[in-house]
Amino acid sequence: MSTYIHGTHPEEQERLSLLNTLINDRCISLLDITTGERIIDFGSGLGQFTMRMGILTGPGGYCLGIEQDSAQLAKARKNLADSGLTQVDYRQGNVEDISLGDEEGSFDLAHARFILEHVNHPEKVVQAMRQAVKPGGKVLLLDDDHDTMRLFPEPAGFKRLWTAYMQSYEALGNDPVVGRKLVSLLHHAGLSRIQNGVVFFGDCAGMKTFQVYANNLLGILEGSRDLMLNKNLIAQNEYTAGIKGIEEWSTLPDAALWYSINWASGERI
């Protein structure tokens, strides 16, 4: 099983949950869900976006989230119980090695956001997504190309720290730039009518959500600190200097974060 770099401790769950509130409106606008559809969400995490999609299918639809981690599933199931939605369900499973049995080929949409970057074999996941949808069904991937992160004015020590962070993905056998490969992954899995685009994931000083973006950045870096240090990807003093640089940058009146989430979709014909 692949290792999830961010972990699932309560502070990390809080970060992921806040991240969902920042981007879910932008991501849902990529979808054209009609009532009664069947959707499968690969790597559903805390399930906030799974539920958003489930609401659009209506009570006559079905939205199934697949998640490997028990702590994420527990939180997702609690959120689901609180919501009262009956058309959403979660199942424990590894998206790199999944068997859908009779449900194979029965879904209208297979969706995966921020999951291909956390697995050793993204091609296996995309192949399973293709198998999950019926002819005419759609596969939608959203994922990171970490190499596109830009902060300005660039904080002292940031480049060094961000490079080590990307290397920590590689240390786990995962791909920090998988976002640029989404079209290729769909093509090689046999999907047709492929499209692509980006969802803006940036902000600047003065905007009311700016500090949430800055804290998200600090949160992912702090969460990977032990891995970076233990694998000798960065020295402690360089790590500390990079974090201090971001903290100082986040107080500047002209601080800006430029980043986007890559997406690509394809159809099974």
Which residue lies nearer to ligand SAM by CB, 90 or 249?
Answer: 90
R_g over Cα of the chain: 19
- Per this entry, what is the length of the chain? 269
How many residues bind ligand SAM (CB under 6 A)? The answer is: 21
Contacts of 78 by beta carbon, 8 Å cutoff, 6+ apart: none
Taking CB under 6 A as the rule, does residue 185 contact ligand SAM? no
Taking CB under 6 A as the rule, does residue 94 contact ligand SAM? yes
Instruction: Give residue 135's identity as a one-letter amino acid code.
Output: P
User: Considering the complex, what minimum distance in angstroms separates the CB of residue 251 from ligand SAM?
Assistant: 28
List 69, 89, 222, 238, residue binding ligand SAM (CB under 6 A): 69
Taking CB under 6 A as the rule, does residue 64 contact ligand SAM? no
User: Considering the complex, what minimum distance in angstroms separates the CB of residue 114 from ligand SAM?
Assistant: 4
Contacts of 159 by beta carbon, 8 Å cutoff, 6+ apart: none
List 51, 88, 119, 233, residue binding ligand SAM (CB under 6 A): 119
Residues 199 and 142: beta-carbon distance below 8 Å:
yes
Helix 158-171 with 236-249: angle, nearest 10 deg: 120
Residues 196 and 264: beta-carbon distance below 8 Å:
yes
User: Considering the complex, what minimum distance in angstroms separates the CB of residue 240 from ligand SAM?
Assistant: 26
Taking CB under 6 A as the rule, does residue 145 contact ligand SAM? no
Which residue lies nearer to ligand SAM by CB, 114 or 259?
Answer: 114
Taking CB under 6 A as the rule, does residue 13 contact ligand SAM? no
CA angle at residue 154 from 150 to 160, to 5 degrees?
Answer: 80
- Name the phi and psi angles at 196, rounded to 5: -150, 170
Contacts of 162 by beta carbon, 8 Å cutoff, 6+ apart: 146, 149, 242
Q: How far apart are CA 150 and CA 152, in angstroms?
A: 7
List 38, 39, 49, 157, residue binding ligand SAM (CB under 6 A): 49
Q: Nearest residue by C-beta to ligand SAM?
A: 45
Closest CA to 2 of 119, 149, 96, 117: 119
User: Considering the complex, what minimum distance in angstroms separates the CB of residue 127 from ligand SAM?
Assistant: 14
- Written as six digits, the tokens of 82 are 């609180």
Stretch near ligand SAM under the rule CB under 6 A, chosen from 94-102, 146-154, 171-179, 243-251: 94-102
List 43, 61, 155, 245, residue binding ligand SAM (CB under 6 A): 43
Task: Please name every residue paired with 141 in a beta bridge, in sequence order, or none if there are none.
Answer: 112, 264
User: Considering the complex, what minimum distance in angstroms separates the CB of residue 138 from ligand SAM?
Assistant: 17
Which residues of this chain interact with ligand SAM, rule CB under 6 A?
Answer: 2, 4, 16, 20, 43-45, 49, 66-69, 72, 94-96, 113-115, 118-119
